[in-house]
Amino acid sequence: MKKVVKNLSFWVLIAGILGYIFGSIFGDPSWATMKTPPNFYQIIVMIKSVFISALKMMIAPMIFFSLIGGIINIGEITKLKSMGLVTITYYVSTTIIAIMIGLTAVFFIHPWKNSGVTIKTKDTITQQKPAQFIEEGSNSIPVVIKKVFETALVNPFHALANNNILGIVTAALLLGMSLLIVHHTSNPLYQIVKDLNIVINKVLHWIINLSPIGIFAIVFDFKVKVSGDIFSELLSFALLVFGATMVHGLLVLPSIAWFFGKLNPIDLFKKTARPLLLALSTASSSATLPVTMQTCEEELGVTKGVSGFVFPLGATMNMDGTALFEGIAAIFLANLYGIELSGVAMFSIFFMAMLSSVGAPGMPSGSMSGMQMVLLAAGIPLEAIGILLVIERPLDTFRTAVNVEGDIIGAVVTQRYLDKREAT
């Protein structure tokens, strides 16, 4: 019971439920369109705005330095050449497949299409959902490419000041790669970047600890503004995420293990049951890391060299379940807020979901920091993240298990490749 009481996710869930109940009992839908609503509601909106502003405050530095740090880490290990090439190719490929599964599920299924949920604002009484997700005439390839480059290639300081996510990412990628080329890994700049990431994550940790208060205000305000059954919307979203995650975890990854790792799917799940169950219970790929490494070395014939190389990298870079979740979540929230997604926005969702999953912390709900990057890139209000936090933790357990499964199969595929190369 003490563990439950100390669990932040428990209090986030309680805060979300209380916010919905209080909003239903005490809230008045007319407040959303009033010029001067009651003081009580103004305080709620103020708390919500402060919480969201605190999150926004850290987005630009978090993205900038986490991506540079990720490039540094990848650059250090790719010195092992063949092993690094195979591992990173596998991670990038499976992440792209996961995102495509998620976006395909959204466009062909999208069970929330005709829910009747609308959101009231002062500017627009109701935001009607778009008839289609991509605007007419915006998906011309030359137009999309031109707009992407115009957004990406801007002054880095201007991008940081204006939360231009694509511009921040582009600057971080270019600076990170140039740092690898110009300076040796022993250069003090490398340690400075790592220390800055630690400091930024600490500040984010403080903000996240206040999330129950922020979530209460967000859900209360959302209940006042929303008409329709939002819980049925969330349930349909959760079921779609779960189904897409299971397709990736039970079909795609075992198929890769079979064809490239020569590992029967039944043997795969039988021998890896311990780390997968631990991932389900802890929702942390980093916490599962020692058990995962031991299991692969003892049960799957992975050498210590491969294990020590693949798994630490995978714990931060290989987040298939996270990428899949973020792709679906962005489309779901855009639909909920009545936002039509252009070709540029779709590209941004795909690109940002992949990048944010690479830098996602291997801890419970770690993907929510990267989710901010995806939402801003697609032009979705950041307050929408509060809606996800209400149901995010149960989904987090399953996608963490898929992340760990992907790491295990990556180690097996890399080991088989090296064995085959040595044999020839």
Q: Are 241 and 40 in contact (CB under 8 A)?
A: no
Domain residue ranges of the chain, discontinuous segments joined by +:
2-423
Q: CA 412, CA 23: separation in Å to the nearest integer?
A: 51
Give the single-character DSSP code of 248.
I
Q: Is 118 helix (H, G, I), strand (E, B) or coil?
A: strand
Tokens of 99: 């995102």
Q: Which residues pair with 226 in a beta bridge?
A: 119
pLDDT value of residue 126: 39
pLDDT value of residue 251: 93
pLDDT value of residue 368: 59
**Planar angle of CA 25, 380, 148, nearest 5 degrees:** 180
Q: Are 165 and 377 in contact (CB under 8 A)?
A: yes
pTM over 0.75: no
Rg, C-alpha atoms of the chain? 22
Q: Are 150 and 43 in contact (CB under 8 A)?
A: no
Q: Which CATH class is domain 2-423?
A: mainly alpha
Q: Give the phi and the psi of residue 133 in degrees, each rounded to 5.
A: -85, -30
As to burial, measured by CB atoms within 10 angstroms (0-12 exposed, 13-18 middle, 19+ buried), residue 238 is: middle
| Selection from 333, 322, 387 nearest residue 106 by Cα | 333
pLDDT value of residue 54: 81
Q: CA 407, CA 314: separation in Å to the nearest integer?
A: 6
pLDDT value of residue 362: 47
Tokens of 164: 């231009």
As to burial, measured by CB atoms within 10 angstroms (0-12 exposed, 13-18 middle, 19+ buried), residue 349 is: buried
| Selection from 381, 377, 318 nearest residue 347 by Cα | 377
Q: CA 392, CA 372: separation in Å to the nearest integer?
A: 14
Q: CA 338, CA 222: separation in Å to the nearest integer?
A: 14
Q: CA 215, CA 388: separation in Å to the nearest integer?
A: 10
Distance of CA 355 to the CA centre of its chain: 9
Give the single-character DSSP code of 341.
B
Q: CA 33, CA 258: separation in Å to the nearest integer?
A: 58
**Planar angle of CA 375, 379, 381, nearest 5 degrees:** 65
pLDDT value of residue 145: 61
Average pLDDT across each block of 10 residues of the chain; the chain has 424 residues. List them in order.
63 81 83 80 87 76 75 58 77 86 77 57 42 44 62 79 73 81 79 85 80 83 69 80 90 92 87 84 69 85 78 71 81 77 68 66 53 70 70 76 89 86 71
